[in-house]
Amino acid sequence: MKKKLNELKQLKGVGEVLSRRQAEAGYDTFAKVAAAGEEGLKNIQGINQRMLSAILEQAGQLAGEGRASKTEKVEALKRHAASLKEQVQGVALRVREDFKEEIAGKTGKKVEKQIMKVIASLEKVEGRLETRVKKAGKGLEKAEKSLALLAAAGFAEIGKGLKKA
């Protein structure tokens, strides 16, 4: 029993008391906690309602259920990164077409340099997707928001926006 309680304490948000209460409710393994779902865990006294989804996700991963979903997440993020690279290349083409005179100067070279940095950053994120799934996802979301703002921006705004992306 003590070994199972220590096992449950591996979950963030679950301490000594909560692990004992989970075991008493019949959720003494990660698989049982994951199978219980939010409705099952809500009935346990003292559980933080805001931590339920995180506890369930961790339990699923520790029980072995999360492995397939991780590969699915990685593949989805890879597709997302590829589409963002295409968007950046689209912005680069638009800059070349719409701002031919401005691109010849010093500012144009800076914008091209920023475009290359963004593409390199996206490739770097793609390379680390396997190990940093959550952080990479957040970074890709931020880059997507920045690129959405650049769709109708002028030349100066594109240069500034690429620095943020």
Q: Are residues 150 and 96 in the same domain?
A: yes
Q: 8 is in which domain, residue-wise?
A: 2-63
Q: Are residues 56 and 71 in the same domain?
A: no
CB 12 within 8 A of CB 35: no
Query: From the CB of residue 51, how many other CB atoms can be counted at a distance below 10 Å?
Result: 16
How far apart CA 142 and CA 15 sit, in angstroms, is 34
Number of domains in the chain: 2
Whole-number pLDDT of residue 139 = 82
Between 38-47, 49-58, 61-70, 113-122, the lowest mean confidence (pLDDT) is in 61-70
CATH of the domain at 14: 1.10.150.20
Q: Are residues 92 and 117 in the same domain?
A: yes
Q: Are residues 113 and 136 in the same domain?
A: yes
Of the two residues 32 and 151, the one the predictor is more confident about is 32
Whole-number pLDDT of residue 162 = 61
How far apart CA 68 and CA 122 sit, in angstroms, is 24
Whole-number pLDDT of residue 151 = 64
The pTM of the full predicted model, rounded to 2 decimals, is: 0.53
Q: What are the tens digits of pLDDT across the range 86-130?
A: 888 888 888 888 777 777 777 777 778 878 888 888 888 888 888
Q: What are the tens digits of pLDDT across the range 7-46?
A: 888 888 888 999 899 989 998 888 898 888 888 888 888 8
Give 160's pLDDT tier (boundaries 50, 70, 90). Answer: low
* pLDDT of 68 above 60: no
* pLDDT of 69 above 70: no
